[in-house]
Amino acid sequence: MPHVEIDLSKIYYNAKILKEQLNKKGISIMGITKVVLGDPKIAKVIRDAGITYIGDSRIRNIKRLYNAKLGAKLVLIRNPSLSEIKQVVKYADISLNSELEILKNLSKEAIKLNKKHGVIIMVEMGDLREGFMPENLDLVIKRTLELEGIVLLGLGTNLKCFAGVIPDQKNMKRFSQIAASLQHKFGIRFEFVSGGNSANYKWVKNADDLGLVNNLRLGTALIIGAESIEDSPIHDLKQDTISLIAEIVQISKKPKNPTGKFSTNAFGEPSIFKNKKYRGKGVRSQALLDIGRQDIEEKGLVPIDNIDIMGASSDYLICDIKDNEYKIGEKVKFNMSYEALLRAMTSPFVEKRYVK
């Protein structure tokens, strides 16, 4: 059975280093666990590194983290669904919001449960995903402050995830100005001015003036030691925190050219053999591994050994193993991109194993 090997000590190391680096710039961290399916063991090492806010985008994961009793504040980082309001107030300490109707329902449920639920209001800064338009924020803040059971904790924004807009000095300065204006108008002070995610790492490291931004929501940087603009490694952090191991189930010499007419593969994509680099004379040493697109994104796999990934079907990863003298049953190890890791951690057919 394919499995991921999770090195908890390396994730702890990344969390510790990032906390130390960003503390010097006045930035707190919410550790985001969505790429690892809200894994409580991973969340615990992040908490042990001194990060006291743990966030996830799925309420089911938030519930897992709640039941793990981590001693951390839990943050739902996706706009709550109306159908999940009861669970959100019960299990999450804080939620990120961009709909007044949702906020009103959170208020009603908080009153029922005699709880205070913290909210961070999301602001649209150009990436065109979640967030209130800036010109509507006066009304939004006024209405939020009027809601019983709701505690307005701050503002947040998100860039890079949809339109690909990069956090920079211009949009971050504007975000700070919006926060400053609202604080002045309503006589309040935001606990969180949350500037974004791992795509903000380079801006935070390089900027001389961070304005009012005092928080980032980090998942990619913590878990795989990379920033998320160019997916480049962050110096001083570990990238080999989680590896994928798959087993060889077939080894054979196969012709370099398919036999017969060919069109698209099972996913409607052009055959790889339309690319001349996959064709030629003779045969190649080819292996099938026991993992496929139902479990991973093969384009995000980086083999440790000198082999080439040709592609994947639903159930198999097809590799050119070159001159490697593998045997049936041998394991092949891969590093993973964010997307590949997300798929592998979500798949019930990929076992999760831990290294301390």
Q: Which residues are catalytic?
A: 34
What is the spatial distance between Cα 3 and Cα 5, in angstroms, rounded to a whole number? 7
* DSSP, res 78: S
Helix, strand, coil % in the chain, rounded to nearest 5: 35, 25, 40
Structure tokens at 126: 């150009």
Torsion angle, alpha carbons of 36, 74, 63, 46, to 10: 40
CA dist., res. 61 & res. 65, Å (int): 6
Cβ within 8 Å of residue 58, ≥6 positions away = 34, 38, 78
Spatial distance between the Cα atoms of 344 and 298, rounded to a whole number of angstroms: 10
In this structure, are residues 288 and 317 in contact, taking their beta carbons and an 8 Å threshold?
yes
Q: How far apart, in whole angstroms, are the C-alpha atoms of residue 25 and residue 240? A: 26
CA neighbor of 340 nearest in space, from 285, 281, 300, 290: 300
Report residue 242 as tokens: 């989680």
- In the block, tokens 């790429």 appear at 35
Alpha-carbon span 18 to 49, nearest angstrom? 10
Amino acid at residue number 325: E
From residue 271, give the alpha-carbon distance in Å to each of 68, 123, 261, 294, 310.
46, 43, 11, 19, 11
Contact 257, 273 (CB under 8 A): yes
Report how far residue 182's alpha carbon sits from residue 135's, in angstroms, rounded to the nearest whole number. Answer: 11
Residues β-bridged to residue 97 = 121
